[in-house]
């Protein structure tokens, strides 16, 4: 399953992005070393992620307000520096659904394998795509610093 929706206004997503961009790398872990999310061919991935137990309360509260009334297992913020990428993979966690909420604009880096072939989704603040955990996906090397929100859950 691949499903698109608008989660929050562009303004709210862009406001959050400003706050997230100011955070030091110390809030994030290097996923090439910790809790790796390996590519199907075994090549290492390269990105950073901040878990919800590590994020400032202001950001935690804002993100969880986007999913009020829904059962969410975890919300992560991924950070990619230019050149960082994730090869084709399925997520290493065992939850049924993952939702990516975009914060940036006009980046064509998230690729999803659909029954009709690979599709590339363009980042747009507040837009989201939800996939089931069987959907192979990748992130092409990013041209500029990029952040995205990852929401993990067992039911929609
Ligand atoms: Fe993933």
84 C-alpha vs ligand 1 centroid, how far in Å? Answer: 14
90 C-alpha vs ligand 1 centroid, how far in Å? Answer: 6
* 140 DSSP assignment: P
Domains in the chain (CATH in brackets) are 2-153 (2.60.120.620)
What mean pLDDT comes out for the span 93-115?
96
pLDDT in tens, 36-65: 888 898 888 899 999 999 999 999 999 999
Helix intervals (H) in the chain: 10-21, 57-65
Report pLDDT for 35: 85
147 C-alpha vs ligand 1 centroid, how far in Å? Answer: 13
pLDDT in tens, 62-94: 999 999 999 999 999 999 999 999 999 998 888
**Cβ atoms within 10 Å of 31's Cβ, excluding its own:** 22
**Strand ranges in 103-153 using DSSP code E only, listed in sequence order:** 108-114, 117-122, 127-132, 137-139, 146-153
Question: Mean pLDDT, the chain, as a whole number?
Answer: 95
Q: What percent of the chain has pLDDT over 90?
A: 88
Residues contacting 18, CB < 8 A, separation 6+:
none
What mean pLDDT comes out for the span 110-129?
97
Tokens 């950001």, residue? 59
Report pLDDT for 94: 86
Report pLDDT for 23: 98
19 C-alpha vs ligand 1 centroid, how far in Å? Answer: 23
**Residues 49, 30: Cα–Cα separation, whole Å:** 7
141 C-alpha vs ligand 1 centroid, how far in Å? Answer: 14
3-state secondary structure of 31: coil
Report pLDDT for 139: 96
Of the ranges 10-24, 38-52, 77-91, 116-130, which one carries the lowest mean pLDDT score?
A: 38-52
């Amino acid at each position: 399953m691949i499903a698109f929706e608008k989660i929050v206004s562009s303004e709210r997503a862009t406001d959050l992005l400003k706050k997230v961009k100011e955070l030091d790398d110390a809030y994030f872990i290097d996923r090439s070393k910790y809790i790796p999310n390996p590519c199907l061919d075994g090549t290492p991935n390269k990105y950073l992620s901040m878990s919800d137990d590590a994020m400032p309360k202001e950001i935690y509260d804002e993100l969880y307000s986007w999913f009020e009334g829904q059962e969410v297992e975890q919300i992560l913020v991924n950070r990619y520096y230019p050149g960082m990428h994730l090869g084709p993979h399925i997520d290493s966690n065992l939850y049924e659904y993952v939702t990516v909420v975009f914060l940036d604009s006009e980046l064509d880096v998230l690729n999803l394998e659909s029954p009709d072939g690979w599709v590339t989704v363009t980042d747009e603040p507040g837009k989201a795509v939800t996939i089931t955990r069987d959907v192979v996906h990748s992130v092409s090397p990013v041209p500029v610093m990029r952040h995205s929100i990852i929401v993990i859950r067992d039911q929609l």
